[in-house]
Amino acid sequence: MDFLTLFAIYVAVVLACIALVCKYSGQQQTPFHKLFDSVTKVVSPLTPKWLQRFSQRTLHRLFHQRSNMFIYVHILLEGAVYAEFTYEVFGFCRDMDTTLISLSVPYILLVVKTFFFYLCIKRDPGTVTKKKVASQMRIYSYDRRLFHPGVSCPTCQLVKPARSKHCRVCNRCVQRFDHHCVWVNNCIGAQNTRYFLLYLFSVCAMAGDIALLTGDMLLHAVLRSGLLRASYIDEYGQQQQAGPVFIVQQLFMTFPRIVFMLGFLIFVFFLLAGYSLFHSFLAVVNQTSNEWYKSRGYVCQHCHPTAAADNLRGPAPDHSKRYYYSRGLLRNLGEIFFPPRPVQKKDS
C-alpha cells in the first residue's frame, strides 16, 4: 500500500535522525550507540572514502562544535507544524464548533515555550571562572565517589568544584553539569536546569494539545463521512468491512499533510514525554544525567586509588544512600528552581 510504504519511510528517517543525535551528542550509553556502530561497519565498505570523510567532518561540526543549526531546525519544524495547524486544522475545528479558547491554547503554549527556549539559549548555565571558583567549591561537598577534591581541569587550569564537568563543545567547566543540549546550543547546568525542564514540559504540552485537537478533527471527519459503516471489494472480489487500516489510508488520501503532522506530533510527544519524565526523576533525587551515566559504570570506591587517597585525608562520606546529594523532595526541587549562587567576597 502507498500509505504504509510512505509511513515506513517516514518512521525510518525519523529513527535515523534520532540515532545520529544519540550517537554524536556525547552520550555514549544509549541503545542506538551499538546499533549505529554495527550498521556503520556494514555500510562503510560500500561507501566512497570521500563521502565518509565529508560526513564525518559535517557530523563533527554539528555535534562537537557550537552551532545554531539545531536551533534553526527546531524553529523550522515548529513553524511547519503551526502553519499546517493554522492553515487547515483550525478552520476544520471551527466548522465543528470547537471553542476559540480551546484553539488558542496551542498559541499560548507557543509563547510560553519560546520564552523558556530563549532562556535556555541565553542564560549562563553556571560557568566556572577564576573569580567564582572558590565560592562555587563551597556549594557542594565532594562525594569521593564520582567527584574527588584536588582534581583540576587540564583545559581551564582550575580546580573542579564538586558536580562540575568540562564541556568539550563549549570549552568550559560548568557547575552542576547535566549535559550539553544541541537543540539550545548551550550547556544545561546549575543556573538553567529549571528553564530546561519548563521548556521540555511546554514542548510536550504543545505537541499533546495540537495532537488532541487534530485527532478530534479527524475523528469527526470519519464520523461525518460514514467510513465506519463503509465496505470495499478486496483483490479477490470479496466485500470487506472497512477496518482501521482502510480508514487511516482514506484519511491519508484526503488529508495527507494533516495525517503526517499528527503522526509526527504523536512521535514527538511520547519521545519528549519519556525524556521529561527522566529529567523529572533526576530533579526529584537531585542527580544530573552526567552523574547518572557515571554511576552506572561506577567501580567500588574502596577499589579506586584516588578515592582511597582521599579517604586518608579525612573521614569517608556516607555512601549508604543511593543518591548522595539528595536532601528530600522539597529541598531537591528548591535547588533546581532556586539554585544556590556562589557568593563572591568583597575586596576590603
C-alpha cell at 191: 543556573
d(C-alpha 261, C-alpha 279), whole Å: 26
The alpha-helical segments, DSSP class H, found in the chain are: 2-24, 31-43, 49-63, 69-84, 90-95, 100-122, 133-136, 193-225, 244-254, 256-285, 289-296, 305-313, 329-337
d(C-alpha 305, C-alpha 32), whole Å: 33
According to DSSP, the residues that pair with 232 across neighbouring strands are 240
**Catalytic residue flag (residue 181):** yes
d(C-alpha 348, C-alpha 342), whole Å: 18
d(C-alpha 253, C-alpha 249), whole Å: 6
| Residue 27 burial by Cβ neighbours in a 10 Å radius (0-12, 13-18, 19+) | middle
CA distances in angstroms from 143 to 4, 147, 196, 318, listed in the order given: 53, 6, 26, 8
**Which amino acid is residue 161, in one-letter code?**
P
Catalytic residue among 93, 120, 156, 181: 181
Of 117, 139, 120, 118, nearest to 128 (Cα)? 139
d(C-alpha 182, C-alpha 174), whole Å: 16
HSE at residue 337, side-chain half, CA atoms within 13 A, is: 10
C-alpha cell at 181: 543540549
Point out the residues that are catalytic.
181
